[in-house]
A and B are shown apart, each in its own frame.
Chain A
């Protein structure tokens, strides 16, 4: 099977969907000729023209509002938010308008909008361009949240998002745009709410989102060297969340670590660990643990920035504590 980069996978998904449905269009900063600073969208404006690949002014609230309006009136916009950190600028448009319109209109209005943005630190982009804020939007009823972990997921999830009549926020990991994976040439989509068990194991479950899936896989390899069998699961979408797969795994292994690049406190890891606590309690031989980014603004200096994100070593260290039956104290 061919391998393509995540960047190319996203490009293909958009191109295919735009060919499939003429209501689909792209809007955002520097999306047209520039193809975004990450050069993902190169070639699209050439194929579909400036009416369907629209460069907006540098005003996130402005163009997000326009996107919501377009979606409410029959279009299917894919809004490109250049850095996930800018989501703060569009919270009202996203969480008060897009998320609630279908409900508040008694079902009369849909907002089939896709917000394409990114997350991920260690790019040396400092505190305001490195955040992973998916927990914020996952908290809002009415929004779906997808977290592709590779080129394969990126294409499949994006297509599903575009075809979904609900507002979907899809976060790509900005560090992964040049990473390749096997992607079929044939058309495929990945359903929401279905987790992917990437590696089967019996001793401990590692649940990772986005690039943390690779972190968990690396940790699993290290644990295997020490004789432990780790199961690695990629939930793919956190809203909706495939609880059943996660719980079943927890019941099987009796130990769970959730790894996510959002800050550890009040985030995705807490939510997933909490559900496991509720629904797999009697099967747990150890508390479900969380590993997130440190609760600090992401540093600019590389040495410090690298310390704040979850790494395979951190995961292994925590895993060994659980596997050895050590007494787990809250820090």
Chain B
């Protein structure tokens, strides 16, 4: 099997090398370890040995020539005939996923980062395919024996071909990217595939199976030996669960998307409810829940409430809270206050005496946890914003939980600040 002799990788920033001298001629028989040629690098002269025994053939670079790193400059063949055809690493199209030819441009190789190192793990790309890079931009990161090293692009241009994926272990000298002067219509994107004829992979890991770009993988199912999705994409669920879900207006897709093991049964109803309630950021249109905390003195409110209890015992504490919160939200807001004693809905009013119980659906929920041991409560705002009030010593902590589709950030700031202000000075805000 013919071996390719390439211009070796010479250092991080170097992409060509000057071939100083050949020590064997075209057609010569060579043994493994024989000195083949010398190359001049930035700092020194490097001697390159033959990787295998055979005949040196197909010599294509002359002494004195400047050769790009990685380019094939000769072959070692079993006989002294030309090694048939192909297989410069760069021109050969990848057999695994024959995706077309590489664009012409500056070739980026896996650099040699240490004397004893012959491959590096590409930790990640710092530019996206198609991006423009300046020469000094960091293009990718490589993990060496000792650390993770940032590698610059070295050439300004468009990142048009990517021949290794994050996580790939690439022998030094291998081509991993191409930077073109002009942006290209199509980008080449492949995982690194070890070429069987590459010299440099003698010591590195045996070539992996050709990888295709992995499609996003659904969370694997664990315990149950059960299909997570039937072949037709149909969600498997018992008739009972389907009925329960339908009656509650819950979506089975949401539970399936979480990778919950199928088939679903009635016992999965709670998980179904949870899946439907969770508004996860980023996966469904950017609805996320946010939380704000305000701290406010509690003594003024306490005083007010005890005075109120004397003078107007008919007005309950919860009504007051409802009024303070409701008025901070909007005119005539309906506030549901949940406390240890129970839950009540109030329609707020500027006039405290006008605050009344109502059956209407709440615009906002208040969790009154004052006096309890609870220090903080971050509640998922399922349908409406939630404000949880907890107490520590004299002070009150107010946490507002809301989703971005319930109110904007500035509305939330205003609401909580306003509410806190009213608690701070209740008399001024009521009556």
Contacts and interface: CB of A to CB of B under 8 A. Distances in A.
B266 A327 contact: no
Interface string A254-282: 10000000000000000000000000011
Interface stretch (B56-64, B104-112, B238-246): B238-246
A62 to B, nearest CB: 52
A327 B227 CA distance: 9
B240 A254 contact: yes
A325 interface: yes
Contacts of B238: 254, 284-286
A282 B239 CA distance: 5
A285 B243 contact: no
A229 to B, nearest CB: 15
Contacts of A284: 238-240
A285 B226 contact: no
A283 interface: yes
A325 B267 contact: yes
Contacts of B239: 281-285
Contacts of A325: 263, 265, 267
Interface residues of A, number: 10
A285 to B, nearest CB: 4
Contacts of A282: 239-240, 242-243
Nearest to B227: A327
Nearest to A325: B265
A286 to B, nearest CB: 6
A284 B266 CA distance: 9
B230 to A, nearest CB: 10
A254 B226 contact: no
A325 B240 CA distance: 12
A102 B227 CA distance: 55
A38 B238 CA distance: 48
Nearest to B244: A282
Interface in B366-410: none
B354 to A, nearest CB: 48
30 contacts: A254-B238, A254-B240, A281-B239, A282-B239, A282-B240, A282-B242, A282-B243, A283-B239, A283-B240, A283-B243, A284-B238, A284-B240, A285-B238, A285-B239, A285-B240, A285-B241, A285-B265, A285-B266, A285-B267, A286-B238, A286-B265, A325-B263, A325-B267, A326-B224, A326-B226, A327-B226, A327-B227, A327-B236, A327-B262, A327-B263
Interface of B: 224, 226-227, 236, 238-243, 262-263, 265-267
